[in-house]
Amino acid sequence: MSFLRFSPYVFKQAWRHRVRTLLTAGGIAIAMFLFTAVQAMQHGVAQATRETAEDTTLVVYRKDRFCPATSELPQDYQRKIERIAGVTSAAPMKVVVSNCRTSLDVVTFRGVEKDQFLAMREGKIEIIAGTTNEWKRRTDASLLGEALAKRRGLSPGMTFDAAGITSYVAGIIRSDDPQDQNVAYTALEFVQLAGRDQLGVVTQFLVKVDAPELLEPVAAEIDDLFLTAQEPTTTFTEKAFASRIADDVIELVAFARWLGVGCLIAVLALIGNAIFLSVQSRIAEQAVLQTLGFGRGLVARLIMAEGAMIALFGGAVGAALAVGVVRVGSFALSVEGVSIPIEAGPGLLLTGIGVCVALGVVAGLAPAIMAARQEITACFRAV
């Protein structure tokens, strides 16, 4: 006999005390909303800071500087860096941010040499709206990351103001790189002049090397080259640079894991309490089921299925709401020009629902064992 045949009975048992069931499911939904949101932040941190064997990019920054506004390097460092063995290119970049503090809505302008940028990112970015021809033609034109455009409601042909810069939207790009999703790429000279800086001053250099094993020796050689210069440098891999800048955000997200653990404990307690009260209110019914030939194992499974059903409903609602809010909002934690995306997809939704259902089964285990071990006569006597 298939256990699925008993699903209508399990549903009726859960719905019999509908107020209690709905309140329990509501509490589960809230807890799973928070749990899923925390998981989305953790996924974003991992994506932005996890180094891979294919990474070949270094970031050269002004030593002992943090906010982009304070990092000033001569643009002519580019020629010296490109002479180092193992370096394939060095791209100067001027970074201007609307807010250097940690925020959910920061616009980051990155001034780049347009032809060099397109050559370095060939195959890594996709133009999903607009054209690069318009971007190259207009000095004030920007290519916006998809998340930034979605969050601000921007599309090609529009203009927008941020960080004291007014820019024309020439195109929208899609990229797997977290730093491309919440940024506006525009001409290097345009950002330099708009930021009231002299031409020839940049914030950082993006340096490409021939092979991953050259990252550390090339970084050390670059810093040694400018060690006694008026503007010394400090060089990191791209992912290590993001991890260093966003250290406070990463610690905050790591602490939020305990919030996630607390949410799971709350789900376990809510389901366990609801199932225990439900079992206590129908002791005689358990005896009748056993009298009709329902084995103790089947009775226990029916009770655990009830917990799983309540958990499935509440967990699905909470996880789906969290995924929907994250995807619609296109949020990112930005600090000092580095973006930590908050991303949630179908995989995270399924993970949240699966965890919740598993907790429902575990929470129903103790009440199920208690009900299965009760003797028929003892059940009738307790009525």
Could you tell me what percent of the chain has a pLDDT over 90?
18
Within this chain, do residues 68 and 166 fall inside the same structural domain, yes or no?
Answer: yes
Answer whether residue 202 shows pLDDT above 70: yes
What pLDDT does residue 81 have?
92
| Average pLDDT of the residues in 86-107 | 82
Within this chain, do residues 78 and 28 fall inside the same structural domain, yes or no?
Answer: no
What is the pLDDT confidence band of residue 220, given thresholds at 50, 70 and 90? very high
45's CB contacts (< 8 A; 6+ apart) are: 246, 249, 250, 253, 340
Within this chain, do residues 177 and 320 fall inside the same structural domain, yes or no?
Answer: no
Task: Identify the sign of the CA torsion 375, 377, 382, 383.
Answer: positive
Within this chain, do residues 9 and 34 fall inside the same structural domain, yes or no?
Answer: yes
Q: What is the DSSP string of 226-278?
A: TTTSSS-EEEEEHHHHHHHHTHHHHHHHHHHHHHHHHHHHHHHHHHHHHHHHH
Model pLDDT for residues 5-19, shown as the tens digit of each residue: 667 767 777 677 778
In a domain, 278, yes or no: yes
In a domain, 342, yes or no: yes
**Angle (CA) 298 313 357, round 5°:** 55
What pLDDT does residue 143 have?
93
What pLDDT does residue 382 have?
47
In a domain, 236, yes or no: no
Within this chain, do residues 367 and 334 fall inside the same structural domain, yes or no?
Answer: yes
| Average pLDDT of the residues in 197-212 | 85
| Average pLDDT of the residues in 288-299 | 64
What pLDDT does residue 124 have?
83
In a domain, 239, yes or no: no
Q: What is the CA radius of gyration of the chain?
A: 29
Alpha-carbon gap, residue 77 to 87, rounded angstroms: 13
Model pLDDT for residues 139-187, shown as the tens digit of each residue: 899 999 888 888 888 999 999 888 788 899 999 998 888 788 888 999 9
Residue 317 φ then ψ, to 5°? -65, -50
| Average pLDDT of the residues in 314-319 | 89
What pLDDT does residue 280 have?
66
Within this chain, do residues 191 and 327 fall inside the same structural domain, yes or no?
Answer: no
**DSSP category for residue 335:** E
Within this chain, do residues 133 and 210 fall inside the same structural domain, yes or no?
Answer: yes
First CA to last CA across the chain, in angstroms?
30
Answer whether residue 370 shows pLDDT above 50: yes
Within this chain, do residues 255 and 362 fall inside the same structural domain, yes or no?
Answer: yes
Final residue belonging to a domain, choices 231, 257, 283: 231
What pLDDT does residue 187 have?
92
Residue 171 φ then ψ, to 5°? -170, 165
Within this chain, do residues 253 and 211 fall inside the same structural domain, yes or no?
Answer: no
The count of domains in the chain is: 2
In a domain, 83, yes or no: yes
Answer whether residue 1 shows pLDDT above 50: no
Within this chain, do residues 89 and 200 fall inside the same structural domain, yes or no?
Answer: yes
Q: Are 207 and 89 in contact (CB under 8 A)?
A: yes
Alpha-carbon gap, residue 316 to 314, rounded angstroms: 6
In a domain, 366, yes or no: yes
The one-letter amino acid code at 203 reads T
Output the pTM of the full model.
Answer: 0.74
What pLDDT does residue 195 have?
57
SS3 of residue 23 by DSSP: helix
Tokens matching residue 317: 């609602």
Final residue belonging to a domain, choices 231, 262, 296: 231
Give me the chain's average pLDDT, please: 81
Answer whether residue 122 shows pLDDT above 90: no
161's CB contacts (< 8 A; 6+ apart) are: 167
Answer whether residue 380 shows pLDDT above 60: no
Range of 216's domain? 64-231
Within this chain, do residues 160 and 282 fall inside the same structural domain, yes or no?
Answer: no
In a domain, 237, yes or no: no
Model pLDDT for residues 240-256, shown as the tens digit of each residue: 877 776 666 777 777 77
In a domain, 53, yes or no: no
What pLDDT does residue 120 have?
84
Answer whether residue 381 shows pLDDT above 60: no
Which residue has better confidence, 178 or 284?
178
Bridge partners (DSSP) of residue 357 are none
| Average pLDDT of the residues in 351-374 | 78
Answer whether residue 292 shows pLDDT above 80: no
Within this chain, do residues 257 and 343 fall inside the same structural domain, yes or no?
Answer: yes
Least confident of 70-84, 121-135, 242-256, 289-303: 289-303
Q: Are 367 and 272 in contact (CB under 8 A)?
A: yes
| Average pLDDT of the residues in 64-90 | 88
Final residue belonging to a domain, choices 182, 198, 231: 231
Answer whether residue 56 shows pLDDT above 60: yes
Could you tell me what percent of the chain has a pLDDT over 70?
84
Answer whether residue 316 shows pLDDT above 80: yes
